[in-house]
Amino acid sequence: MGNKGEQMELDLRCDLDRELTEEVVEITDNLSEKLLGRNGHIASSRYEGYGILAGSMAQVTGGVKAVKKDMEELLTYLSSDDFNTAGIVANINMSVTKLIIDAMKMSAETKRIEKDLRTVD
């Protein structure tokens, strides 16, 4: 038994969600290390860290807007019987994939910047 008053956390996520979370964390950890090795640059202040993350956030926001635009296009053609929606769904898939990549890069950048700031603070 743990410390008196210790509260245990029960993970109620399904196995797929748990496995996906573990894989994404591992991928972003690895990507963070690659970014550090590639740039070698240290975010020397919280302001510089913010600037880097603001650039990443702009990419993610652009990705969300692209997915939204594709979804709106799909909604426009739902009532049309003669329109092949598979192409629009393929566009949505490409937009979501790019969004995921941008979000994973941002996650890796946050990990790298956190490490940088821990060494300079």
Summarize pLDDT for 57-88 with one digit per residue, the tens: 999 999 999 999 999 999 988 888 777 788 99
- pLDDT per position in the chain (121 positions), as tens? 455 667 766 666 688 888 888 999 999 888 888 877 666 667 889 999 999 999 999 999 999 999 999 999 999 888 887 777 889 999 999 999 999 999 999 998 898 888 888 887 6
The tokens describing 65, both together, are 């807007």
- Asked if residue 1 belongs to a domain, the reply is no
Q: What's the farthest any 2 CA atoms get from each other in the chain? A: 67
- Asked if residue 84 belongs to a domain, the reply is yes
- Asked if residue 10 belongs to a domain, the reply is no
Q: How many domains does the chain have?
A: 1
Helix 46-77 × helix 86-120 angle, to 10°? 170
Q: How many degrees, rounded to 5, is the angle at CA 110 between CA 103 and CA 36?
A: 105
- Asked if residue 2 belongs to a domain, the reply is no
Domain enclosing residue 115, as ranges: 15-120
- Asked if residue 70 belongs to a domain, the reply is yes
- Asked if residue 9 belongs to a domain, the reply is no
* pLDDT given at position 62: 98
